[in-house]
Amino acid sequence: MSKRQVEPPFRPQLEGKKDLRYLDPDLLQQDIKFDEMLDN
**Contact call for residues 11 and 34 (beta carbons, < 8 A):** no
Does 1 map to a domain? no
Which range marks the domain in which residue 26 is found?
16-40
Nearby residues of 27 by Cβ (< 8 Å), 6 or more positions away: 14, 21
7-13: long-range contacts, CB 8 A cutoff, minimum separation 24 = 8/34, 10/34
Least confident of 5-14, 17-26, 31-40: 5-14
d(Cα 4, Cα 25) in Å, to the nearest integer?
16
Quote the percentage of the chain above a pLDDT of 90: 0
2: pLDDT strictly greater than 60: no
Number of domains the chain contains: 1
pTM of the full structure: 0.30
Confidence at residue 31, expressed as pLDDT on a 0 to 100 scale: 74
Does 33 map to a domain? yes
d(Cα 13, Cα 16) in Å, to the nearest integer?
9
Does 34 map to a domain? yes
Average confidence (pLDDT) over 12-21: 55
18: pLDDT strictly greater than 70: no
Does 29 map to a domain? yes
